Amino acid sequence: MTTGKVVAINGNMVSVVVEGDVSLNEVGYIVVDDKRLKAEVIRIRGNQAELQVFEVTKGVAVGDAVEFTQELLAVELGPGLLTTIVDGLQNPLPELAEQSGFFLERGLYLQALPRDKTWSFTPTAKPGDTVLRGDQLGHVPEGIFEHWIMVPLGMFDTYTVETIAEAGDYTVDQTVATLKDSKGNLHEVTMVFQWPVKRAIDAYAERLRPEEPMVTTLRIVDTFLPVARGGTYCIPGPFGAGKTVLQQITSRHAEVDVVIIAACGERAGEVVETLREFPELTDPRTGKSLMERTVIICNTSSMPVAAREASVYTAVTIAEYYRQMGLNVLLLADSTSRWAQAMREMSGRLEEIPGEEAFPAYLESVIAAFYERAGLVRLKNGSTGSVTIGGTVSPAGGNFEEPVTQATLKVVGAFHGLSRGRSDARKYPAIDPLDSWSKYRGIVDPGMTEYARNVLFRGDEVGQMMKVVGEEGTAVDDYILFLKGDFLDAVYLQQNAFDPVDSSVSTERQRHIFDLVFHIIGSKIVIESKDEARDFFYKLRQKFIDYNSAEWQSDAFKNLEQEMRDLFSTVSSELEPKAQEVYRNRGKYA
């Protein structure tokens, strides 16, 4: 065993003189009294290593012993991960609280997966089969999924199956297969193995281009700012603008198999809210608890900074593991700004040359490496799996020009910027449709959505002009354009999360509604005065809000739609030429 002695302490960073060999990202334990504090090697210079400690370093002194494990910082992967609430080091928090009481005890580390629970194993491989890492040996039921029991991802040779367990109940520590490598050595395989969190899981056949939309059932996202399955997006916004709420709504209604929430340094109050609400939420797909297909990795901003970084990598490793089973996984990181601040703090203690706003010079590359672990992949059996990553950013004062937001925008495929103005005006989701963008294709024809966005832009320009010259100084046609943009915002971009119907809108319904909205905002509207125009759009908007709350294809839904069409026919009969061209060419470039 490699050992060392503490020679300096600077907050959560400890310098150690090492006797023997150590590796970057290797785990070491600092022995303090009768406790062993977990740490990770983050820099090596000669015979001295710097370690970031995942605990409060109170009591650590020069001369204290350090024991290195010869193992990289890793997580346990196996059945039983779903429904768990763990910290950044994968300690199950409920069990940790039971053992340590109200305040979590330092130096207490628990196994992530229960060792006493049995799983009903069904073999799929047979003796004599040739297998590689990531290949399926069998499966066990985990909630609504078949959890693959696979050749551990750290076994890089070609193996022959010597024995395979019969169908039956086993714990995760029991041997379910024996494999022989190319040199004739035998390896016993259990249901659980470890994988280093800083290394991406790449045991798939091919990486594919994300193109299919990940439906969230939020109209503004699916129609105007889509996210691809296997893609990346970010949600920057000022404090209180609704980032956490938006993530919770997405996690509940998004059409994905597994949801992983990484509370990587969010404030304790918001974390407590997540922990309280999620077990109570009903999964729309199954009718059971949403926690049955959810993993929560929890680190608040009051925990040591190193733990924030660990939670991000723990979350993405678990996401990649479930992707390896052909599942679609959504990883929500809240908030990556805390993670970046932790990196800034540790970089300062390492006395590295600072970048902009004292963040480390390598901030962009670290953020890029994290988001690059998302992706759509084809597995060796021909099935596909995906990891979609959505990260929130909390820029001070809502300033999107700060380094973390800018570094994130360079690598993600969609930008859902939250606006303080929209939040204060009670427009939810508070995503700004004018500043936000997406590189992905949505569920509606892109020509039609581009036309609608143009109506929003032009209507906003008229609105800004009216603040200067007043309503009386605006032409009727311009005022109608302003009302069209306001109508589109009110009835389509905004959504009532408390309404059981409007809170989640199916793809079919979104397309149907958008077609109706497009004909309203794209038509020539003949109204003589601004007062008449205001009254007309007010009546139409109120009917549309009721329409959004009506059950899909119900009598009320059909009646309200007919009433709106009858009302609209009194002021318009045809689309404007540009809208006609767009509508005629819809689907042409699909």
Residue 244 labeled ligand binder: yes
CATH number at residue 482: 1.10.1140.10
**Domain that includes residue 559, residue range:** 446-584
Same domain? 362 vs 252:
yes
Taking the C-alpha atoms of residue 452 and residue 514, their distance in angstroms, rounded to an integer, is 10
Is the residue at 198 inside a domain? no
Is residue 590 one of the residues assigned to a domain? no
Task: Please give the pLDDT value at position 267.
Answer: 63
Whether residue 470 is annotated as binding a ligand: the answer is no
- Tell me whether residue 200 is in a domain: no
Question: What token pair was written down for 471?
Answer: 């309503």
The pLDDT value recorded for residue 269 is: 61
For residue range 409-457, list pLDDT tens digits in order: 999 999 999 999 999 999 999 999 999 999 999 999 999 999 999 999 9
Residue 380 located in a structural domain: yes
Are both 423 and 305 inside the same structural domain? yes
Residue 197 domain-assigned (yes or no)? no
Q: Report if residue 589 sits inside a domain.
A: no
Supply the DSSP string of 246-288, one letter for each residue: HHHHHHHHSS-SEEEEEEEEE-HHHHHHHHHHGGGPBPTTTSS
Provide the pLDDT for residue 298: 86
239 in a known ligand binding site: yes
CATH number for the domain spanning 418: value is 3.40.50.300
Q: What is the largest CA-CA distance in the chain?
A: 89
Residue stretches of the chain with pLDDT short of 70 = 265-270, 300-303, 588-590
Strand (E) positions, 334-404?
375-378, 384-393
Q: Are residues 287 and 186 in the same domain?
A: no
Domain total in the chain? 4
Same domain? For 256 and 362 the reply is: yes
Check which CATH number belongs to the domain holding 51 and give it: 2.40.10.170
pTM of the full predicted structure? Answer: 0.94
Give a yes or no: residue 427 inside a domain. Answer: yes
pLDDT of amino acid 236: 94
Known binder of ligand: residue 240? Answer: yes
**Structure-block tokens of residue 49:** 């290593």
> What is the DSSP code string of 102-171?
SSPPTT----SS-SS--EEEEE---TT-EE-TT-EEEEEEETTEEEEEE--TT--S-EEEEEEPPSEEE-
**Same domain? 458 vs 381:** no
Q: What is the DSSP string of 348-363?
A: HHTTPPB-GGG-BTTH
Whether residue 286 is annotated as binding a ligand: the answer is no
Residues 158 and 267 reside in one and the same domain: no
The DSSP 8-state label assigned to residue 51 in this structure reads E
Q: How far is CA 29 from CA 1, 25, 110, 196, 324, in A?
A: 12, 13, 15, 17, 32
Q: How far is CA 201 from CA 104, 198, 511, in A?
A: 31, 10, 37
Last residue of a domain, one of 11, 42, 72: 72
Single out the residue in 397, 414, 438 at which a domain terminates: 438
26, 156: one domain: no
Looking at the structure, do residues 252 and 395 belong to the same domain, yes or no?
Answer: yes
User: What is the Cα–Cα distance from 8 to 523, expressed in whole angstroms?
Assistant: 72
Q: Do both 293 and 403 map to the same domain?
A: yes
Residue 54 among known ligand-binding residues: no
Are both 18 and 153 inside the same structural domain?
Answer: no
Distance CA 506, CA 487 (A): 21
Within-domain flag for 199: no
Q: What is the pLDDT of residue 289?
A: 83
Are both 460 and 483 inside the same structural domain?
Answer: yes
- If asked whether residues 343 and 223 sit together in one domain, one would say yes
Is 224 annotated as contributing to ligand binding?
Answer: no
The answer to the question of whether 237 is labelled as a binding residue is yes
Domain end point (choices 15, 47, 72): 72
